[in-house]
Chain A
Amino acid sequence: GNSVTQMEGPVTLSEEAFLTINCTYTATGYPSLFWYVQYPGEGLQLLLKATKADDKGSNKGFEATYRKETTSFHLEKGSVQVSDSAVYFCALPGGSSNTGKLIFGQGTTLQVKP
């Protein structure tokens, strides 16, 4: 079945540093790919998505490109802020395209220090 592997954290950065969180996946076909973010004490929020190969998802300064050649969907941000401190999850559908099941990576905790 589909699976996703995320780089382990925690990641600690200074404000305005460059962020990369690696995510690689195994899937049948070319499913949509997602990054979710979880702030302390909250549920998950969709950060960005890409629905086909070579798509670039972007939101709030974060970007990720769907790379089918390397089966990767790395999350990047050019200049992080303290408010970006959260847990980030890479995810993809658990089966066919029409399913409510998502498979999540183990999550990467990001701490940004002023």
Chain B
Amino acid sequence: KAGVTQTPRYLIKTRGQQVTLSCSPISGHRSVSWYQQTPGQGLQFLFEYFSETQRNKGNFPGRFSGRQFSNSRSEMNVSTLELGDSALYLCASNDRDGIYNEQFFGPGTRLTVL
């Protein structure tokens, strides 16, 4: 099976702009989670989607949002970008019917906010 794919791999934006990142999970996986990775805060959970519904949400402001489509592909959106939003954004998928919570990660999207 193909792994988790994320597009684009790199993005450069300026403060105040908005950005949309895309994630395609492993075929058959219905759960998609998003994480933000920064040197200072490490890996932080943003949200999880399952069957087009948000099931879990981390402690991020409302500028961070997401959605999931019927084919399980997911997008996350960040509006009104701030310098502190510069990070590696990782998407992960799993078969939520499993009991081990094993997450399969994509390569990430590196967002730089200038």
Contacts and interface: CB of A to CB of B under 8 A. Distances in A.
Interface residues of B, number: 27
A43 B43 contact: no
Contact of A102 (B6, B50, B103, B107): B103
A99 B48 contact: yes
A104 B106 CA distance: 16
Interface string A28-66: 000110101000001111100101000000000000000
Interface in B35-58: 42-43, 45, 48, 50, 55-56, 58
A106 to B, nearest CB: 5
Main secondary structure of the interface of B (DSSP, over half): strand
B48 A32 contact: no
Interface residues of A, number: 26
A97 interface: yes
Nearest to A106: B42
Contacts of B102: 32, 34, 46, 49
A102 B39 CA distance: 18
Contact of B105 (A31, A44, A98, A101): A44
B101 A99 contact: yes
B43 A99 contact: no
Contact of B99 (A97, A101, A104): A97
B33 A32 contact: no
Contact of A100 (B90, B103, B106, B107): B103
A32 B94 CA distance: 14
A107 B101 contact: no
B39 to A, nearest CB: 10
7 contacts: A42-B108, A43-B105, A99-B55, A100-B56, A100-B101, A101-B33, A102-B92
Interface of A: 31-32, 34, 36, 42-46, 49, 51, 89, 93-95, 97-107
Interface of B: 4, 6, 31-33, 42-43, 45, 48, 50, 55-56, 58, 90, 92, 94, 96, 99-108
